[in-house]
Amino acid sequence: MTIYSNNSIVLASRPVGEPSAENFRLETVPVQPLEDAQVLIKVLYLSLDPYMRGRMSEAKSYAEPVAIGEVMAAETAGVIVESKSELYQVGDHVCCRSGWQEYFISADKDPMTYRVDPSRVPLSTYLGVCGMPGRTAYFGLQSEGKPVAGETLVVSAASGAVGSVVGQIGKKLGLHVVGVAGGPEKCAYVKDQLGFDAVIDYKADDLDSALAAACPGGIDIYFESVGGALTEAVAKQLNQGARVPICGFISNYNSPDINKERTPFHILGELTNPPAHKFFLVFDYYAEFATANAALVDWVASGELKYQETMVEGLARAPEYFSWLFSGKNFGKLVVKIADE
């Protein structure tokens, strides 16, 4: 029997402001023998996502914080290297909630461990366009945004893992889609590759005038992932009956005290006629995940749905890579390659 040694990144201390290397610690321990109805997963790819910043904080949230000394939470994709399960065989590829580590023992009936097929689309895409970010876009726009053909949709973080999918689905549904991204390269990608009708560079354009030009009939749906100045500008041009699915508001995440920040809930709630808006969780739609997964994989496999990845390497550098999410250094989905198969 092979004896495996597992490297993991644990939360060493709670960050104040933007996380730094000092908030994490690398630990190495032997992998314990499997029990019946368990599988051992070798992690090949690790997903880094903005929501993880909230899990590092003790502030009240939709999920329990990661405890000090606990492996940082994350979704990963990997391959089963040992099995004591009748449901999985060695060599099966899966996604799971292993966290920031090289090996993970999963119960075979863990609902967050599920089989995927890398012969249809690359394994890493099951962490992005065909995974949680893709499902967030799929349900956030269609179920929360309630789009009607001909309406105007504005997408924040439009070149990102979620926003890029939101806009492409919006085009499939007959919407006038306006993306907001940062810098000429990302804006060109959103307009020329993803096919958005218009794009606004928040780093260079005046948001008020640019939104007015791109959305002459006002804004019916705003897919929120950013907050801050962009939300303030969008709020001025929302139509009566507008909807704002709130996926996140990354501009506030590194605040020393987010309870003192002006969030999208303050900005939208202060309007004379506030739009329908709420923070939604993709797990609200867990029962429909299979439907979304099938659609997203089909669209990617056929070339209908385009995506961009920033692929980096090395578990030990995950804390450094995580900071890229807040500086915009990554382009599209940020994935860490942990190991070769």
- For residues 93 and 163, membership in a common domain is answered with no
Range of the domain at 243: 132-283
Q: How far is it, in rounded angstroms, from Cα 139 to Cα 131?
A: 12
Confidence (pLDDT) at 277: 97
Phi-psi region of 33 (alpha: psi -120 to 50; beta: other; left: phi over 0): beta
Report pLDDT for 1.
Answer: 61
Residues 265 and 331 in one domain: no
Q: Are residues 124 and 139 in the same domain?
A: no
What is the model's pLDDT at position 62? 72
Residues 99 and 206 in one domain: no
Number of domains the chain contains = 2
Q: Is residue 155 domain-resident? A: yes
Domain presence at residue 256: yes
Asked if the structure places residue 203 within a domain, the reply is: yes
Residues 144 and 205 in one domain: yes
Q: Quick check: is 327 in a domain? A: yes
**Residue whose structure tokens are 């689905």:** 169
CATH number for the domain spanning 140: value is 3.40.50.720
Domain co-membership, 176 together with 272? yes
What pLDDT is stored for residue 258 in this prediction? 63
The DSSP string of 148-167 is -TT-EEEESSTTSTTHHHHH
Let me know whether 236 and 318 are in one domain. no
Q: The CATH number of the domain where 53 resides is what?
A: 3.90.180.10
- Quick check: is 245 in a domain? yes
In whole angstroms, how far apart are CA 27 and each of 114, 117, 235?
27, 31, 46
Characterize 94-108 residue by residue with b for buried, 16 or more Cβ atoms within 10 angstroms of its Cβ, and e for exposed: bbbebbbbbbbbbeb
C-alpha 109/C-alpha 230 separation (Å) is 42
In whole numbers, what is the pLDDT of the chain averaged over residues? 95
Residues 11 and 69 in one domain: yes
Return the pLDDT at 296.
98
pLDDT at residue number 44 = 98
Of 139, 97, 91, nearest to 117 by C-alpha is 91
Compute the distance between CA of residue 339 and CA of residue 336 in angstroms, rounded to an integer: 9
Give pLDDT, residue 322.
Answer: 96
Same domain, yes or no, for 182 and 273?
Answer: yes
**Separation CA 108–CA 339 (nearest Å):** 22
pTM, to two decimals: 0.93
Mean per-residue pLDDT pooled into runs of 10, the chain (341 residues) = 90 94 96 97 97 87 89 98 98 98 98 96 98 97 98 97 97 98 97 98 96 98 95 97 93 70 90 95 94 97 97 98 93 97 90
Q: What integer pLDDT is reported at residue 33 of this predicted model? A: 96
pLDDT of residue 172: 98
Q: Is residue 257 included in any domain, yes or no?
A: yes
What is the C-alpha to C-alpha distance for residues 165 and 293, in angstroms, rounded to an integer?
13
84 and 151 both lie in a single domain: no
Q: What is the pLDDT of residues 111-158, one digit of tens each?
A: 999 999 999 999 999 999 999 999 999 999 999 999 999 999 999 999
How many helices (H) and strands (E) in the chain?
9, 15
CB 141 within 8 A of CB 245: yes
Helix (H, G, I), strand (E, B) or coil at 196: coil
In a domain, 296, yes or no: no
Tell whether 65 and 119 lie within a shared domain: yes
User: Is 224 part of any domain?
Assistant: yes
**Dihedrals phi, psi of 30, to nearest 5 degrees:** -70, 150
pLDDT for 60: 72
My answer on whether 212 and 139 are in the same domain is yes
Which residues make beta-bridge pairs with 168?
Answer: none
pLDDT at residue 59 in the model:
75
